[in-house]
Amino acid sequence: DAKTTQPTSMDCAEGRAANLPCNHSTISGNEYVYWYRQIHSQGPQYIIHGLKNNETNEMASLIITEDRKSSTLILPHATLRDTAVYYCIVRVPYTGGGNKLTFGTGTQLKVEL
Amino acid sequence: DVKVTQSSRYLVKRTGEKVFLECVQDMDHENMFWYRQDPGLGLRLIYFSYDVKMKEKGDIPEGYSVSREKKERFSLILESASTNQTSMYLCASIGTGKYQPQHFGDGTRLSIL
């Protein structure tokens, strides 16, 4: 799996968009970008994933650059409940049989009034 | 919705005890994982299993073993608990197929005294 680089922490004002960057310059052609978040004292929660096109769901939008070497997770109207650690993971579709899935240290997003 | 259930949210044990952490998923997933999470170190993979009775070592298997007797259940065993195994333990599962994300339990916060 490709290595990712994320800022250690970010702050965002409530109601504003939170833009969380991720660099994955060694991504290969068949690797997807996944985003998870972990709210304090809970397990990680899946948010969104994409291959090369921008994606949007009810939680967030994912913007992947044309060269696929970086991506941005956008929370359009951040709330206090979005305060969490956000993980960017790059990997091939999971086919079992021994592929392990690893997480990095993520970005601590703090949403403030 | 996928449900991954860990048997205990909080657990306190003594040094030298044999400790069992249980995880059950209800989506017939082939693949299950155990991670531990420590401040500043992110999620680290201990063991994973891609089928009943199959297991693979992750990045930090020392001091742990696992059991997968039934597809829905994956147990993590601390053979002789030590204080450096005090941590948050997270179980996850994933189906085998293209884009599926991992699904996590809410974790067990284990303290070894």
Q: Are A14 and A72 in contact (CB under 8 A)?
A: no
Q: Show the 3-state SS of A2-14.
A: CCCECCCEEEEEC
Q: What is the pLDDT of residue B101?
A: 83
- pLDDT of amino acid B70: 96
Q: How far apart (Å, rounded) are the C-alpha atoms in residues B34 and B49? A: 9
| A96 contacts chain B (CB < 8 A) | yes
Amino acid at B95: G
Vertex B77, ends B72 and B81: CA angle to 5°?
155
Q: Are A49 and A62 a contacting pair, CB within 8 Å?
A: yes
Q: Does B45 touch chain A (CB under 8 A)?
A: yes
The Cα of A17 is separated from the nearest Cα of chain B by a number of Å equal to 25
pLDDT tens-digit map of A78-111: 999 999 999 999 887 766 655 566 777 799 999 9
Q: B35 at the A interface (CB within 8 A)? A: yes
d(CA A66, CA B111): 46
Q: Does B77 touch chain A (CB under 8 A)?
A: no
Tell me the CA end-to-end span of chain B in Å, nearest whole number: 37
Instruction: Give the residue among A20, A13, A12, A14 at the shortest CA–CA distance from A79.
Output: A14
Chain B positions touching A95 (Cβ under 8 A) are: 96-97
Please answer whether residues B74 and B6 qualify as being in contact, where contact means their C-beta atoms are separated by less than 8 angstroms.
Answer: no
Tens digit of pLDDT for each residue in A37-79? 999 888 999 999 999 989 999 999 999 999 999 999 999 999 9
Strand locations in A39-104, DSSP E? Answer: 45-50, 55-56, 61-64, 70-75, 84-91
* B10-49 per-position pLDDT tens digit: 999 999 999 999 999 999 998 999 999 998 787 889 999 9
Instruction: Please report the pLDDT score of residue B98 as a whole number.
Output: 64
pLDDT on residue A2:
64
CB burial class (10 A; 0-12, 13-18, 19+) of residue A85?
Answer: buried
Q: What is the pLDDT of residue B95?
A: 81
